[in-house]
């Protein structure tokens, strides 16, 4: 009978271990920092073809891998709560609406996907998938697929499958997503290398 796989330290744990009695402060600080990064990444548009891209999906998978599933979910929950309360933290807010009305609109499925992708990438990171380029590339692509599935499904529910749902919610973003996932696959192993050098 095989034993359970022991979760490995995440990048954040390697850089900032939770001191006894102060774990809540570490969690709070990292969750706030992560939610700020998500907000900034939603607002900054990078010129690209065929459509401009934000860096938010990049930040989502990196947070998942660097933070792990529990802290990653806490961070995304904080971010979504900020949006639900009406803070303009999402892409297109406040111009396209704010709060819960925005969250149940066309973007709603992707917001759910962010939470699921953080869980998936965090789970794989705790099993060492973020230590080299090839396994990190697989992990972030898995996370990106997890992210887009509820987004596309929700568009189909809202507008009907007779509409060009994939052309609206998937295919224009594929090249940008591959670029961002390749960047994440480079960044995470380099960050681990820097963390090991710091500890060594």
User: Using one digit for the tens of pLDDT, what is the confidence trace for 51-66?
Assistant: 889 999 999 999 999 9
Note the pLDDT of residue 137: 97
Q: Which domains does the chain have, with CATH numbers?
A: 55-192 (1.10.1760.20)
**CA dist., res. 184 & res. 178, Å (int):** 10
Q: Which two tokens stand for residue 71?
A: 């802290």
What's the pTM value of the predicted model, to 2 decimals? 0.93
pLDDT digits (tens, 9 = 90+) for 1-28: 454 566 889 999 988 876 655 688 889 9
10 Å CB burial of residue 199 (0-12, 13-18, 19+) is exposed
């Amino acid at each position: 009978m095989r034993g359970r796989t022991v979760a490995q330290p995440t990048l954040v744990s390697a850089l900032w271990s939770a001191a006894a009695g102060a774990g809540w402060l570490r969690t709070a600080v990292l969750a706030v920092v992560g939610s700020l990064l998500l907000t900034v990444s939603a607002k900054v548009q990078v010129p690209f073809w065929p459509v401009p891209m934000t860096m938010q999906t990049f930040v989502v998978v990196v947070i998942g891998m660097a933070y792990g599933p529990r802290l990653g979910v806490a961070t995304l929950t904080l971010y979504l709560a900020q949006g639900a309360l009406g803070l303009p933290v999402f892409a297109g807010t406040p111009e396209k609406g704010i709060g819960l009305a925005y969250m149940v609109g066309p973007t709603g499925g992707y917001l759910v996907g962010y939470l699921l992708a953080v869980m998936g990438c965090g789970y794989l990171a705790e099993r060492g998938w973020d230590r080299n380029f090839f396994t990190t590339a697989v992990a972030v692509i898995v996370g990106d697929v997890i992210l887009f599935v509820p987004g596309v499904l929700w568009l189909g529910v809202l507008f009907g499958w007779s509409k060009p749902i994939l052309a609206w919610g998937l295919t224009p973003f594929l090249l940008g997503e591959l670029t961002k996932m390749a960047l994440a696959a480079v960044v995470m192993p380099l960050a681990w290398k820097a963390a090991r050098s710091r500890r060594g």
